[in-house]
Structure 1
């Protein structure tokens, strides 16, 4: 039946159908289709939809997306296997190139000037799309990454299968922007293993340290501290082979977070201060802000509210001076906890509201979740039950949209 349907469509539509059978993932944008060699894309896509072979897909990001029906996808892949191997490999090469560069641009928009091992993408963002940009701004870039999440995982696996090792680890490094911001932590562990193997194949100890640290961070957030410790121990063994001082800093930072999870507050602060010194030595302003924020977290966890505020205020000044806007909601969130510890509830609420507003504006849903949780707790302390209930309801809706469990009744 499908053979007869495909036989009746125009040649350029048939080629697009077979192209969709080659591409990794489950959906495709018109920009990806053009980047991988499709011609007359809009016309061909319209014919696939009218022939009931494909459907348009709703997504929160900007590009127009399509997917083949499940049976049609299997049929398209079967037809694609009959095509020459060199042609299929060429299409996959173009797809990996497209996603590698697009993910790198998205990462830059989300995290600004954070430390990266990979060079900037050779192609500007404007060259990856025919009409409007793939994404504009931090929130838009995160939405694009999230909409492409399944495709990107397929792309990483495709690059690994073809032994395109540099593409594997570059994609993994860029995807930290998505995994960390939207908490797709199991995905981070799965693709991170491929990143580690790619670094080993390429004899890149610096990259292996970075990949192991990302897996360790994901394991830490999943509550698997033993796994995180094991990854960090392997990364630390390689530090003598890497000249970049910030790699020591990222390992010390993650060790500090694990110490904080184990309520070893003084040890955590010392590790964060070592990471801070490594970033000051470069100097790396973003790294200085991040590690100052971490020092503030450790001080708050240890009940040292006033010193924490001093550190956090200095970090916020650097963030504003350097345009490091994504860090400001994080800093405000910890400031709110310090102010609450001092009993200054009005100032704590103001800081938590600023954190929630800032996180929502740039799509940091995990931090928005934390800010709402804190606001509900502060409202409960102030005996403002209607306000607490409103925050809990917002939090419930947010967690439902993120696929997370709702907050327990009465806990805020």
Structure 2
């Protein structure tokens, strides 16, 4: 579809003078009030006839009137003086085109305008000069080329899009989101920003969408590469505007010299049109603003490695483009190398796209290397990329396309401090991280770290994946690490890694002293942790942090052990006790403590070894692996005795009692508990006394000695109350309820459990909370009050998250209840 030229509206009458243009503009302003386009449709015919000499016929649409109104409104906003607005036209511009005669009325008006113009010219807005030039030059073209009126030799429809990407794959969700944003609210929206790291496919997505939705843009599509990251630097807005204006039919000699006037003219020409505009690889919001068309019927799509928050604050909609998922990445690989090669090596193909992280540029580069070597297997390509430190270097094609070079362009734009953070965060042990550990990486404050992280997120060199949660794309992390290897010394990188590990250890200790305030520890940092103001608002919040950071804490153990930082390794394992005691995670528990025990042995620290073997034995005990639990705990007793660590000895003796009881040896269990109780009393540790009394009461319950059990449990409860240990009190109430249930005193049992429930709900331990709910289910079932099903269901929901033997028991209990109910 060709754009309608101005020549289609004109006659062969002599061209209008600028005086007549100014006169007609003034008439128009008077009818429009303050420049609002409320009467555009009403004016379309009269203004066309008077201003462009179209006679009495009314051709085409009102685009010329909308053009005028847009320019008038811009001028009104900038000048702020409506009475002087039309005095700004320079009548000398096209004086040679004046009519030879004018009516007396027009001559008088012209003299009046010229006189007023002399006093206000220095304040005049030059937008109307440009408008007059456009109108008169358009009229000139109509006069000098009257023989061409109505022909197809007008300005062609601009269609500057490059060909659609041939290997575009998937992105159905992103295309649908572009559709939604472009037609949001029943009309097309002006501005959409597609952002993401280099090589993720931003340009391909924008180009594919504009090609596939060409029907939305009957007036054409403009495209400009803004070259944000090329060696020559970003393209100047004026250069782009000149190209756009020429594409819209303005001769080069008629284009204003300065950018603001070019932008006004561009807005005037695009008013009322349905254009698509692709601004590719933008550097900043300021670079984009002059290039935005005026019409709300147009859609501008901007791609950038930055998030361009300045445009978002002005109403732009943001799409953060992510790497391809595995199926789409496999499809992209298949389109490049052929279906048979992928079908013959499906596992290798999956491994290859995984190593590419779903990044389209990486998949395409890996595919290109396979295409030029048709006999090479995909498995060999996977082997080539297996070494992480060489992966980026191998993702290149003959020096032409390189994944590493793509990331280098973004990295070179980073200021010094964000660049340093980028490099050091590559040493972070886990996948995700928050502001606190980022601050530790470069030894700065959390407030400063937030600003630095914002720069990296804005450049799409980090992903923000949640509230105060960030992560690298896998390949970008490798790039950051390689930049650190080149730019930072080995001691500097080690110090950064140690600072991050220390931050995790300190914060875990701070969480632990909130979760179980009275528990004793042997790690050297706990004394300071107790002296610091509480870092968390309560046990539940502290447990939530430990759970959130579990993967990072375990990765930190792995990193420390791998670097031979043995003392730090066993201290971190000790700090994991509260997390594992309350949330279980048995596989992580066993693995980490095996590593911790080995680290303590290498440190020749008997106290640490005893403590870590005790904690490892507890994990085996809860899994009912009694032989392994007994072995580790007996070693813990011996190491404690050899080093004279009585508290470790007492804890290990208590645990041996638990193992004996689990193996059906209650008398032996009570003997161990009493030996441990004696040590606690000798050391004056009241919480330890309460714990041993509770253990004895639980074992007496198992052998049917209910009165003795109630006596020991009641004493334990009183001690916990005196110590203000609410979780300890609630757990003791649960065991008292178990005794009274067996004694048939269900009302007393129900009272104890109802008192324990709100305490355990706030404890942060899903396991202990689930145990109280299950006990309430048992008592309610016996009472026949109908609440049992709900209690069992809630208990099972909590237990399934942590796993362990309790899950099967609860499932069986719920099934039995439902079968009988």
* Fold match by TM threshold 0.5: yes
- Inter-partner Cα distance in structure 2 for 1:159 and 1:97: 11
Give the CA deviation at 1:410.
2.2
Relative distance call for 1:300 and 1:127 in structure 2 (3 A) is: closer
Q: Which residue of 2 aligns with 1:339?
A: 740
Cα distance in 1 for partners of 2:527, 2:492 equals 24
2:636 pairs, out of 231, 235, 242, with: 235
SS at match of 2:507: helix
The offset of 1:373, in angstroms, is: 1.1
Query: Aligned residue for 1:221?
Result: 622
Structure 1 residue runs without a partner (length 5+) = none
User: Which residue matches 1:395?
Assistant: 795
Q: CA deviation at 1:402?
A: 4.1
Which of residues 782, 789, 792 is equivalent to 1:381? 782
Bigger shift: residues 392-401 or 144-153: 392-401
Q: Is the counterpart of residue 113 in structure 1 residue 518 in structure 2?
A: yes
Note the C-alpha offset of 1:387. Answer: 0.2
Corresponding position of 1:15 = 420
Instruction: Please report how far the alpha carbon of residue 48 of structure 1 lies from its aligned counterpart in structure 2 after TM superposition.
Output: 2.5
Instruction: State the aligned residue count.
Output: 403
Q: Are 2:455 and 1:47 equivalent residues in the alignment? A: yes
1:360-403 Cα deviation digits (max 9, x unpaired): 1121211111111111111111223x301111222233234446
Q: Determine the structure 2 residue equivalent to 1:26.
A: 431
Per-residue CA distance 1:260-281 (angstroms, 9 max, x = gap): 2112222212211211111111
Q: Which moved more, 1:358-367 or 1:263-272?
A: 263-272
Of 652, 670, 675, 1:269 maps to 670
Q: Distance in 1 between matches of 2:414 and 2:612?
A: 46
Q: Which residue number in structure 2 is paired with residue 72 of structure 1? A: 476
TM-score (norm 2): 0.47
Deviations 1:304-328 (Å, cap 9, x if unpaired)?
Answer: 2221111111111111112222211
Q: Does 1:99 align with 2:500?
A: no
For the aligned residue pairs, the C-alpha RMSD in angstroms reads 2.3
Contact 1:13-1:48 at 8 Å conserved across structures: yes
Cα distance, 1:360–1:378 mapped onto 2, change above 3 Å: same
Match of 2:719 in 1: 318
Q: Distance in 1 between matches of 2:460 and 2:567?
A: 39
Correspondence for 1:137: 538
Structural mapping, 1:245-324, within 5 Å? 245-324=646-725
CA contact (8 A) 1:15 1:38 kept: no
Q: Deviations over 1:287-308 (max 9, x none)?
A: 1111111111111111222211
Distance of aligned partners of 1:411 and 1:104 in 2 relative to their CA distance in 1, 3 Å threshold: farther
- My pick for the range that moved more, 199-208 or 333-342, is 199-208
Specify which of 398, 409, 423 is matched with residue 4 of structure 1.
409
Work out which of the two has the higher radius of gyration on C-alpha atoms and give 1 or 2.
2
Is the alpha carbon distance of 1:254 and 1:58 closer, same or farther for their aligned partners in structure 2, counting shifts above 3 Å? farther
Greater RCO, CA 8 A, separation 6+? 1
Using the alignment, how far apart are the partners of 1:279 and 1:125 within structure 2? Answer: 22
Where 1:170 maps in the other structure, the secondary structure is helix
**What's the offset of the Cα at 1:411?**
4.2
Is the CA contact (8 Å cut-off) linking 2:617 and 2:629 kept in structure 1? yes
1:126 deviation in Å?
9.7
- Give the direction of change, closer, same or farther, for the CA distance of 1:52–1:134 in structure 2 (3 Å limit): farther
Normalising by structure 1, what TM-score? 0.91
Per mean C-alpha deviation after superposition, the further-off stretch among 158-167 and 275-284 is 158-167
**CA 1:57/1:122 → structure 2, altered by over 3 Å: closer, same or farther?**
farther
Q: Describe the shift of the 1:348–1:208 C-alpha distance in structure 2 as closer, same or farther (beyond 3 A).
A: same
| CA distance, structure 2, for counterparts of residue 72 and residue 126 of structure 1 | 40
The answer on whether the counterparts of 2:590 and 2:620 sit within 8 Å (CA) in structure 1 is yes
CA distance in 2, matches of 1:225, 1:403: 18
Q: Distance in 2 between matches of 1:374 and 1:124?
A: 36
2:471 is paired with a residue of what secondary structure? strand
Show the counterpart of 1:177.
578
Deviations, residues 224-283 of structure 1 (Å, cap 9, x unaligned):
222112212322332431212222211111111111211222221221121111111101
Relative distance call for 1:236 and 1:396 in structure 2 (3 A) is closer
SS for the counterpart of 1:117 is: coil
Matched, 1:147 2:551: no
Q: Which has the higher helix share?
A: 1
Post-superposition shift, 1:168? 1.8
Taking structure 1 as reference, are residues 402 and 2 closer, same or farther at Cα in structure 2, changes over 3 Å only? Answer: farther
In structure 2, distance between residues paired with 1:38 and 1:255: 45
Contact kept in structure 2, 1:28 and 1:66, CA below 8 Å: yes
Output the CA distance in 1 between the equivalents of 2:658 and 2:531.
38
